[in-house]
Amino acid sequence: MNKLKFLIDLDSTCNAFLPYLISAIKSRGYGFDSARYFSVGTWDIEDFIIGTDDPSGALDCILKEPSFWKEIPVLPGAFQVLQNLHRFHDVTIVTAPWGTAPIMKDVKVSWVLDHFPFFKKSEIIFNNQKWLVPGDVIFDDKPETIEKCKADKITVVPDQPYNRRIISDFRYKNWFQVPAIIEKIERKMNS
């Protein structure tokens, strides 16, 4: 079997970013129009924060807190699947920090190493343009990223309300479905 290069996003792919963010918005005294957000299916979440004259500022304030990033829970099954994938393939975490402060990169690296200790720091890269990162397969939730990666990568998308209109090679609802997807990819790439 040939080793493949897998690129793995973090937020809303390996972790429960979206529900955790909505909870953080509400815990700060704002409202969130979940019904409208989930029915509209857009990437831009700030338009659905209510109870403030500056929803973008409120969102930015939450996301600039390093403590926010430290506490996001891992999605069930992600640890086991990524650990196994890491044993047989070249796996790189590709993510983007919120803002330019060095601590924002540090907190993401710490999160990965705390929750996925089999990764080395050198296997974590920061790049907003993931389509420029060499790889065979990408796991990502962002519509723009998936669209731009389709040309030269196999795309695997965790199902989210904002990416359901995007065509991908594979889609999953939870990490327990991913091993079967990986097997199909391995067969396809090694045939």
Each domain of the chain, given as residue ranges in start order, spans 5-16+73-189, 17-70
Residue 1 has pLDDT above 80, yes or no: no
Give the whole-angstrom CA distance, residue 59 versus residue 93: 24
**Segment 129-157 mean pLDDT:** 97
Measured over the CA atoms of residue 18, residue 79, residue 146 and residue 182, the dihedral's sign is negative
Give the whole-angstrom CA distance, residue 83 versus residue 143: 26
Give CA torsion, residues 111, 116, 120, 123, to 10 deg. -80
Question: Which residues lie closer than 8 Å to 187 by C-beta, 6 or more apart?
Answer: none
Angle formed at CA 48 by CA 46 and CA 54, multiple of 5 degrees: 50
Does the structural domain 5-16+73-189 have CATH classification 3.40.50.1000?
yes
Strand, coil or helix: 86: helix
**Segment 161-171 mean pLDDT:** 95
Per-residue confidence band for 160, with pLDDT thresholds at 50, 70 and 90: very high
Reading the block at residue 181, the tokens are 């997807």
- Mind listing the pLDDT tens digit for each residue in 74-109? 999 999 999 999 999 999 999 999 988 999 999 999
Q: What are phi and psi of 23, to 5 degrees?
A: -60, -40
Residue whose token pair is 């097997």: 183
Between 78-88 and 178-189, two packed helices, what is the crossing angle to 10 degrees? Answer: 20
- Between residues 99 and 30, which one has the greater pLDDT? 30
pTM beyond 0.85: the answer is yes
Contact 37, 161 (CB under 8 A): yes
